[in-house]
Amino acid sequence: MILLVDHEDSFSRNLEHLLAKFEPVVLQDRRSIPKSLIDKANLIVLSPGPGKPADYPETRQLVEKYLGQVPILGICLGFQLLLENEGGKIVRQSQVLHGVCTEIRTHTDSLTYRGLPSSIKVARYHSLQVDPDSLGLMPPSLRITAEDPERKVPLSFEDLERNLFGLQYHPESFLTEQGKRVIENIHHACLD
């Protein structure tokens, strides 16, 4: 079962439909997650959402409690929340990207992009980003796996020691090439 932690985002249901191609999904509000659901989860997915990571202390507590015990994937807001939790600094980006399709450079030697080309187009809906200068503060096991080559911004990561993954873009969007395959790769990595 995949536990999708909802941050009341309009994309949560679309994401649920994509994740359901791999396992049954339970969509649960971040403020009321019973331990019984976490015990059944093969993967916890942190949904996109409005605002900034600091607006979601319940999700941060969940991450701190289960990091390294249950695989976690953060998408958009979830990506930012995970990186901030790891020591990264989240800042306002110079250009707001809402509903914009951009090309990203992928690390094809990563599990996230295994079997995919070195460049794909993705859908972006964010005004915040991780500050690239803060990446040195993060654990050495955490590896950036894709960047925006034009803006030099990290757009995905994986930490295989702790089964921690993040995507700044929306894999469930029709604007994202290979979104289903990216989720499939992460899902396989979590089950292996």
- Which residues participate in catalysis according to the annotation? 76, 170, 172
Using CA atoms of 48, 136, 92, 54 in order, give the dihedral in degrees to the nearest 10: 50
